[in-house]
Structure 1
Amino acid sequence: MLHRKLTKIMAVALIFAGCLHLFGCGQKEPVTLGFVGGLTGKVSDLGGPARNGMLFAVEEANKADGINGQPIQTLIRDDRQDPETAKKVVAELLAKNVDAIIGPVTSSMAVQVAPMAEQAQTVMMGVTVTTNDLSNKDDHFFRVLAATAVHAGEVAEFLFNERSVRTFSAIYDLNNKAYSQGWITDFEQRMTELGGSAVTILSFSSGNQEALIPVAEQLVSGDPDIVIFVTNAVDAALLAKLIRSKSDDVMLGTSEWAGTERLIELGGRFVEGAFVPQYLDRESKDPDYQRFREGFIKRFNHEPGFPGLTAYNATRVIIDRLKNKSASQSLKDALLAQGTFPAIQGSVQFDEFGDAESKTYVTQIINSQFVVQTD
């Protein structure tokens, strides 16, 4: 009798051990998606919502049977908006053989780590990365937003045609030079083509707030129609306060980078009236967007903003191709072969280089809200 009981116990133990080895009886080995982005510091208003947008898409997919029965697991890494840290954490993700990487969230980090993804032949889907430096390359870097040349040009056209801006001054952050310098160059080029001109263009390195104090006088000298900040939201809020201490009349504007809730939270009355381009229409009544926004807020207790939405769309694109590609296809080939994917607020359409098109929504801060000024 004792022998039979021991035999049964051993048999159960062997079955249990086998289940653990196979990730659970009847459960397939998981698919792994990595995330890299700035989760601390001045760009956390991009990285935090982007991470949550990715997680929201993954959680939805897992509730719907994952990738053909394979659960999706995530590995989250903080690049701290530091090149060496970004390289380190991306190397960690690649060493774990992730199926794809969502991120980074800034152009300066993307230009550092995109070559690593290319060498590993692993798809990297940039979230809010729009640098021209990664355009028109046959590599494994994809993105769901258009390059800065598109967005900056559209902002210039709006300000020139709809707000009669003819002269501008600007300041851009060298810590995200791959994005900021390209944005202001594209903005100036389009403004000049339209008949406008730059009064003053300055640069600085984020992290030294005292260095910003004397630039306010320089930015308003020459009486420009508008002062543009190509910075993160924290620095844009401080610059707005400094500019308003010198002038109540000059218009203020930013690039898309500053267009998060943090800008209004920190800028308060000093950013009232500022023109802030966005990658999404926050006022959209589209049922899919409303469903996404309400679900996101319920899950994470904050607005998704453009980082949350773009990361959600980017992750859904990756999940779609992992689910539907043929066994012989690489993920890169499957993405390019499909080309167009449904997304919240429009479709994602990749060209032959994995670059996408996206729309610019120029907003104005009115009563502490981003109010869309164009369709």
Structure 2
Amino acid sequence: MSMFSPRLSLIMLGVLALTACNKAAETNKTAASAPAAAADGSTVKIGSANPLTGPFAHWGRDADNGVKLAVEEANAENITLDGKKVKFEVVSEDDQADPKVATQVAQRFVDQKVAGVIGHLTSGAAIPASRLYSDAGIPMIAGSVTSPKFTEQGYKNTFRIIANDVQQGQALAKFAVSGLKAKNVAIIDDRTTYGQGLADDFAKSVEAAGAKVVKHEFTTNSATDFMAILTSIKGAKPDLVFYGGMDAQAGPMVKQMRKLGLNAAFMGADGVNTAEFAKLGGKDAEGSYASSAGAPKESMPGFASFNEKFKKRFNAEIQAYAPYTYDATRVMIDAMKRAGSANPAKYLPELSKTQLQGVTGKIAFDAKGDIQNGTVALYQLKAGKWVSVDAPAAKPTASAAK
């Protein structure tokens, strides 16, 4: 004889059935929220890491858009990898150009099992993040990182498709001394990995070319008031002031220089070579000089058509690095196609064999992962537009590449 009444048994059966339904519903909910790759392996995630908020957001959005355009075009090709048609998905993250945030972003990419990463935008963010990608075996291609340290770490998964700060410093210094006849040079840097490294390389090259560094002052990448250091510099009577840093500081800096009556030429590197600098500096920025860690846009083999596509897709002007992140993404997807797989372990060996004609030029890597035959271009700001300068040392040797 049962210990339970028929009525009690029916109640218990109902409870069990309800519990089973709830578990099934929860399972279905989890499955529905999981990425497509977990179900059929057809989604290939590519991480795009940039500052999407803060003072460098205009750079970051530009670089992120380059990745997105390349991925959209790849998806139109109906590419097959590992025996299946794949859809590429851009996973965009905001690293705020902050080293600590960048490592958090890198860990999220690792946890999401992205197939590769394009970025980070700045050297200060890219270098600490690169260790996590190396440990996880995830390939990383930078379209804007110029610090030599990036590829001097010995990681096999890091690549860049742009010239480095040694090359920029040499080209800028040679132009300052030989082209502009500067004899006394003042230097300011923002103490970031990028700014300090660039300023130090520039200083060495200036002195090697026969000029004198009369002042070297420091600021931060969040400063807005430079009057004290500029007053100190004015007393040294420089022919030229060089700034190692970004446009957000360079614009106000050149305005404050002119307000003080400091009429020395103003020069920066690729961090200054933007429409934003021209906007922030206004008429005081006219005549400034800057470099680009790559060929002049007008001489890039694929720039005209890329520029047209970019404007049509995003209704925006190219800031700086979109052509490079576009090419970096194409390089990564090309390696996957040659390997027949998006598995990092399978396509990573193909990256080092890259021979690709990109928007920015021919792309091939040296043993460290640096672009071979990196080019540096020099510009002057005229009527609010950066105009290419026919300068010495526009194309440093391949051995200088980092």
Aligned structure 1 segments of 4 or more residues deviating by more than 6 angstroms? none
CA pair 88-223 structure 1, distance change in 2 beyond 3 A: same
Of 154, 179, 202, 1:187 maps to 202
Per-residue CA deviation, residues 263-290 of structure 1 (Å, 9 max, x unaligned), is: 1111111110000112345551666210
Q: Which residue of 2 aligns with 1:296?
A: 310
Within a 5 Å distance, the mapping from 1:144-163 to structure 2 comes to 144-163=161-180
AA partner of residue 49 (structure 2): V
Secondary structure in 2 matching 1:302: coil
1:165 and 2:182 matched:
yes
CA pair 184-325 structure 1, distance change in 2 beyond 3 A: same
CA distance in 2: counterparts of 1:271 and 1:76, whole angstroms: 33
Q: Which residue of 1 aligns with 2:112?
A: 96
CA pair 280-296 structure 1, distance change in 2 beyond 3 A: farther
Unaligned runs of 5+ in 2: 1-31, 395-402
- Shift of residue 67 of structure 1? 5.1
Per-residue CA deviation, residues 17-65 of structure 1 (Å, 9 max, x unaligned), is: xxx89959xx861111011111111111221100000001111111122
Secondary structure in 2 matching 1:294: helix
- Any conservation in 2 of the 1:45–1:260 contact (CA below 8 Å)? no
CA distance in 2: counterparts of 1:112 and 1:76, whole angstroms: 18
- How many aligned positions are there? 353
Q: Which residue of 1 aligns with 2:371?
A: 356
CA distance in 2: counterparts of 1:276 and 1:324, whole angstroms: 38
CA distance in 2: counterparts of 1:179 and 1:81, whole angstroms: 11
Secondary structure in 2 matching 1:90: helix
1:317 and 2:331 matched:
yes
Calculate percent identity across the aligned residue pairs.
Answer: 23
CA distance in 2: counterparts of 1:105 and 1:194, whole angstroms: 31
Secondary structure in 2 matching 1:202: strand
AA partner of residue 94 (structure 1): V
CA distance in 1: counterparts of 2:125 and 2:336, whole angstroms: 25
1:197 and 2:199 matched:
no
Name the TM-score, length of structure 1 as normaliser.
Answer: 0.88
Secondary structure in 1 matching 2:302: helix
Out of 278-287 and 289-298, give the one that drifted further. 278-287
Within a 5 Å distance, the mapping from 1:205-220 to structure 2 comes to 205-210=220-225, 212-220=226-234
CA distance in 1: counterparts of 2:196 and 2:100, whole angstroms: 21
Name the TM-score, length of structure 2 as normaliser.
Answer: 0.82
Per-residue CA deviation, residues 278-336 of structure 1 (Å, 9 max, x unaligned), is: 23455516662100001101111222232111111111111110111255963321111
Q: Which residue of 1 aligns with 2:135?
A: 119
Q: Which residue of 2 aligns with 1:78?
A: 94
1:109 and 2:125 matched:
yes
Unaligned runs of 5+ in 1: 1-19
Within a 5 Å distance, the mapping from 1:218-229 to structure 2 comes to 218-229=232-243
Look at both structures and tell me which one has the larger radius of gyration over its CA atoms.
Answer: 2
Q: Which residue of 2 aligns with 1:135?
A: 151
- Any conservation in 2 of the 1:339–1:351 contact (CA below 8 Å)? no
AA partner of residue 222 (structure 2): G
CA pair 215-124 structure 1, distance change in 2 beyond 3 A: same
CA distance in 1: counterparts of 2:244 and 2:275, whole angstroms: 16
